[in-house]
Structures are given as structure tokens and as C-alpha cells.
């Protein structure tokens, strides 16, 4: 009986590299928390519905652009750092192949492989420079040089998901409602759903994950609402 395909076997791992999931999740969460807190703050200050829409829209656009630029820069810089280390390892392999082979063998020995076997495998691998480079980089740096996340994917994902998250608490106002608490409630639902969706990838309880995100967002909204109320009272708004 042949084994089933890897994708169908129990225990097959999800992609945890972070190139797609991380910016999407953080983008949506940041969008929700940022605009919920922003709307709570200005709403607590007693401003008009039009002012809340203006503030929330500005927060959405500014935040989405900031998230996209931040993710692009972060991922691009990380990739450049990996590329520099790979180039350094390539030079070391060209100049000192035997020393590098011994270094790799020592890593495997430390993991329980017999020394003779570890040295034999390392020396055999050294005859294939490109494969040797990939293995050395994985073992010494803990990264796969051929599977680095795309900065453009991270940037676009962050922009889109932040925008979706930030739009949630604005929806009631855009639909003609003017109740601050309705907007915050819609945002709270978005936070809970986002947390529950994250649990799909982490294996955690969807209820606990959703409630955790809801409580964190509520704490941020409460803090900014209090600040907005105090400023509104003192400023006579």
C-alpha cells in the first residue's frame, strides 16, 4: 500500500514562513484596532458624525500606506541581510571548503549523528557547491535562501487587509447611522471574527482567540474614549 500524498497526510504542516499570513493578520488587526480606537477617541470628544467619518477615513488611508511601506521595508531589508550572509557563506565555501565541511559535520554530530557518517556526508555534499551552500545556510542561519518572502506581497497584503479592518467601524457611519456605540460594536464583531480566523492557522480555540482580540481592542477603545472625553470636556467641545 502506497503512502498518500503529503498534502493529505495527517500532520502535514502549513506554511509558517510568515510571508503571507503575518502581514495579512497584522494588517487586519491593526486596521481594526487603530480605527476603533481613533473613532472612539474623537467620538468621546463629542465631534459630529461627519468629523468622525473624516477622521476614520484619514486614519484608514494613512494607516494602510504606513503599514504597506513598513512591511515592504522590513521584508526587503531582511531579504537583503539574508542575501549578504549567503554571499559571505559562498565565499567561505570557495576559500575553505574542508573547514566548512568539518564545521557542518560538527553541527550534525551535535545532533546525534556518528562523526564518521557526518563527515562523510559533509564531504560528499561539498562536491556539489550550490547544494552545499543551501545546506550550510539552512543549518547556520536557519533560513532557506530559495524561499524568502516577497516584499511586494507583504506590502500589498498589509495595505489591503489594514484597509478592510479599518473600514469595519466606519461602515455604520457610511451607511447613514450616527450612533458611536453601533460603530464600536461592529468593530468589535470584526475583532472577534479576525481572532477566530487566526485560530484556524494556529490550532488554538477560536473562542479564546476571538475573545482575546476583542478584549485587546476594547481596552484600546476605552483608553482613547476616555482621553477624547477629557479633552472634549476641557476644550468645551
Chain segment 62-116, per-residue pLDDT in tens? 999 999 999 899 999 999 998 998 898 889 888 888 888 888 888 888 888 888 8
Least trusted range by pLDDT, from 112-121, 202-211, 226-235: 226-235
For residue 18, the model assigns a pLDDT of 46
For residues 183 and 177, is the Cβ–Cβ distance under 8 A?
yes
For residue 103, the model assigns a pLDDT of 86
Q: What are the structural domain ranges in the chain?
A: 24-235
For residues 63 and 71, is the Cβ–Cβ distance under 8 A?
no
Region 124-128: mean pLDDT is 86
Q: Is the pLDDT reported for residue 174 higher than 70?
A: yes
Q: Is the pLDDT reported for residue 6 higher than 60?
A: no
Measured CA to CA, the distance from residue 137 to residue 130 in angstroms comes to 11
Percent of the chain with pLDDT over 90: 45
225 three-class SS: helix
Q: Which residue is it, cell 542561519?
A: 141
Q: Is the pLDDT reported for residue 53 higher than 90?
A: yes
Q: Is the pTM of this model over 0.85?
A: no
For residue 232, the model assigns a pLDDT of 76
For residue 20, the model assigns a pLDDT of 59
- CA trace torsion 179, 182, 187, 189 (10° rounding): 180
Which residues have C-beta within 8 Å of that of residue 111, sequence separation ≥ 6? none
Region 41-54: mean pLDDT is 92
Rg (CA), the chain: 25
For residue 8, the model assigns a pLDDT of 43
For residue 200, the model assigns a pLDDT of 79
Amino acid at each position: 500500500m502506497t503512502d498518500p500524498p503529503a498534502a493529505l497526510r495527517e500532520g502535514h504542516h502549513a506554511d509558517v514562513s510568515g510571508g503571507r499570513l503575518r502581514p495579512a493578520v497584522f494588517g487586519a488587526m491593526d486596521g481594526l484596532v487603530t480605527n476603533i480606537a481613533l473613532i472612539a477617541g474623537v467620538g468621546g470628544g463629542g465631534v459630529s458624525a461627519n468629523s468622525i467619518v473624516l477622521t476614520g477615513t484619514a486614519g484608514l488611508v494613512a494607516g494602510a500606506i504606513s503599514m504597506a511601506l513598513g512591511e515592504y521595508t522590513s521584508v526587503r531589508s531582511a531579504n537583503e541581510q539574508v542575501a549578504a550572509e549567503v554571499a559571505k557563506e559562498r565565499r567561505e565555501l570557495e576559500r575553505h571548503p574542508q573547514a566548512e565541511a568539518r564545521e557542518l559535520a560538527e553541527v550534525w554530530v551535535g545532533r546525534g549523528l556518528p562523526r564518521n557518517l557526518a563527515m562523510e556526508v559533509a564531504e560528499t555534499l561539498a562536491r556539489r557547491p550550490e547544494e552545499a551552500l543551501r545546506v550550510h545556510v539552512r543549518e547556520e542561519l536557519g533560513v532557506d535562501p530559495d524561499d524568502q518572502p516577497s516584499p511586494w506581497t507583504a506590502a500589498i497584503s498589509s495595505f489591503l487587509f489594514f484597509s478592510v479592518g479599518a473600514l469595519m467601524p466606519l461602515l455604520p457611519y457610511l451607511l447613514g447611522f450616527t450612533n458611536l456605540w453601533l460603530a464600536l460594536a461592529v468593530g468589535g464583531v470584526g475583532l472577534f471574527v479576525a481572532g477566530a480566523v487566526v485560530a484556524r492557522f494556529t490550532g488554538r480555540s477560536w473562542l479564546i482567540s476571538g475573545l482575546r482580540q476583542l478584549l485587546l481592542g476594547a481596552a484600546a477603545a476605552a483608553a482613547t474614549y476616555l482621553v477624547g472625553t477629557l479633552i472634549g470636556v476641557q476644550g468645551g467641545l
